[in-house]
Amino acid sequence: MKRDGHKENRKADAGAAASGSNASEPTAQAAFASYAAPLVSDAIAYANAVRDDPSPEALHKLRVSLRRLRSLWWAFAPLLEKGENTRQRALYKYLATAAGKTRDWDILIELIRHEDSGAGSVAPTLEKARGDALTTSRETLTNADVKHLLRDALTSASTDINTAHERVPLRKFANKRVAASERSLMKRAKRARHAKRSNYAAFHDVRKAGKKLRYLLEFFEPVLSGSHKRTLKRLKQVQKRFGTLNDIVASEVLLRDNAGLFAGSGDAADVLQWLHKERKRRMRSAAGLLRKL
């Protein structure tokens, strides 16, 4: 789990490869591997670490790396064969979901531990459920053979992108894809602003669109026109506030879906009541931020 120490160096290397030192402007096709290969390496390393490290942080890093891969593949979708791109993005989602099933229990346990939610006797049951989920997550990731799946996906995408005769300037391509992602975010934010307060799905769509735009800005920042620092700062605010809302909603759903584990427990009912109140409070907070987008 020491790969984070080299994150900034890898980012600088990718930016240098993308910007290029030659007089000719780099192409999106030529730059793809410099973006994708480090992300694939990270995801493989985190998947391997999950086998030995049961901590919430290991699973979180794996899920984030897979989400970043999905966003990168979305960014390069215009240069990829549609069917293959759809399958590869579905693969990243499947693997992230496998890790996420354990991560959801981690979030619920963390919320109960740090908030006055009346956890009481449910804590041991939550820990056992988390352990069972971790076993399933590990089995799924091991059986999926993440290393070969991701390397094959990278090879396939690289071959697909570089067989095209037409070449697209990277700067033009990056600006266009970021603009498309920004439009998507604004469209979803508008929809959420006019949605009923109980319509969490609209808020969740904003969170996903904001996260994708943030990843694209981080990928392409060295070659984009103009400065995007203010946008990145605002997106981090959105991600933080909407992320805390998502944690509450996901935890409430998880607890209700597993009600049988807590049959007869008054503490579980207390936790659900607390989560319900928190969801309303954080929905109001998220709605307030939406008006500033």
Read off the pLDDT of residues 197-227 as tens digits, 9 standing for 90 and up.
Answer: 778 999 999 999 999 999 999 999 999 998 8
**pLDDT at 4 > cutoff 60:** no
Region at 160 (left for phi over 0; alpha for psi -120 to 50; beta for the rest): alpha
Min mean pLDDT across 5-9, 51-55, 174-178 is at 5-9
Read off the pLDDT of residues 230-288 as tens digits, 9 standing for 90 and up.
Answer: 999 999 999 999 999 999 999 999 988 988 887 766 678 888 888 999 999 999 999 88
Read off the pLDDT of residues 52-93 as tens digits, 9 standing for 90 and up.
Answer: 888 888 888 999 999 999 999 999 999 999 998 999 999 999
Residue span of the structural domain in which 272 resides:
3-290
In the prediction, which pLDDT does 265 show? 64
The total number of structural domains in the chain stands at 1
Strands (E), 48-163: none
Structural element, H or E, at residue 75:
helix 56-75
Percentage with pLDDT > 70 across the chain? 89
CA quadruple 210, 211, 212, 214: dihedral, nearest 10? 90
Average pLDDT score over the chain: 86
What CATH number did the domain enclosing 110 receive? 1.40.20.10
CB 197 within 8 A of CB 287: yes
Distances in Å between the Cα of 37 and the Cα atoms of 67, 83, 158, 178, 280 are 15, 21, 10, 21, 42
In the prediction, which pLDDT does 74 show? 96
How many Å apart are CA 105 and CA 130, to the nearest integer? 5
